[in-house]
Amino acid sequence: MTRSIQTSSGTLLCLLCWLGISPLQAEQSAPPAEDVLAVAAAIPDGGTYVWDGGSGVPHEIRHEGETILPAQKKGTYCSGFTFTVAMEAARERGLLRGKSADAVRQFQKEWYGSTKEAAERQCALAVERLGIGKEITDLMDARPGDFVQIWRTNKTGHSVVFVDWVREGETVVGLKYRSSQKSTNGVGDRVEYFADAKGHDGKVDRRRTYVARLDPMLE
């Protein structure tokens, strides 16, 4: 029989230890973020990729009765797509309750890397600053439904929803993600390889790949 238990983070840690489960094991064994993946999948494929200084979002983003971003007139781009997914998933989870419109506007700027502090980590810093998630510092702990900011060795970057690792045997050589990019003419799923994965001509810099997770388990 399964019973719902409400407990503090300290009591939870004691319970995990009593069961012989480390907090890290509990984190890794948790299921993928199906709600995030569902929101990402609900945005139709294609729609064209347009990066011209617009909002990048497929529809208007509102919070507390105010417009945070207007819909881009045509197409989308990566940060707009992932921001839309993050906002919808966070709202469904109730993570935005009590957050002011100004706080969400700041969240958007950090998500897009428009502030000096957020220029590198972007989504990872943004969720921490707004208090709705955390950065996953061990790249291999990423789970489907996390958000990832990647940087490439050709000095370009990309904001994506993580779908799965690409493996060769036991070695992770790349990642599958959903985002908006030129190669899929807008929204679509894509695979990219790490620059250190031999034989794939990949460009993703493993050392500059940042993972953000909404509403993590309290530690």
Domain encompassing residue 197: 33-214
The per-residue pLDDT for 30 is 53
In a domain, 26, yes or no: no
In a domain, 11, yes or no: no
**Cβ atoms of 211 and 147 closer than 8 Å:** yes
In a domain, 158, yes or no: yes
In a domain, 3, yes or no: no
**Pairwise CA distance, residues 169 & 86, whole Å:** 32
Q: Binning pLDDT at 50, 70 and 90, where does residue 53 land?
A: confident
Total tally of structural domains belonging to the chain: 1
Q: Write out pLDDT tens, residues 163-195.
A: 999 999 999 999 999 999 999 999 999 999 999
Q: Which residues contact 216 (CB under 8 A, 6 or more apart)?
A: 27, 133, 134
In a domain, 122, yes or no: yes
In a domain, 12, yes or no: no
In a domain, 140, yes or no: yes
**Cβ atoms of 149 and 176 closer than 8 Å:** no
Reference 110, options 76, 86, 138; nearest CA is: 86
Please state the length of the chain. 219
In a domain, 20, yes or no: no
**Pairwise CA distance, residues 183 & 9, whole Å:** 44
Q: Binning pLDDT at 50, 70 and 90, where does residue 86 land?
A: very high
Rounded to an integer, the average pLDDT of 121-145 is: 97
pTM for the model stands at 0.85
**Cβ atoms of 157 and 124 closer than 8 Å:** no
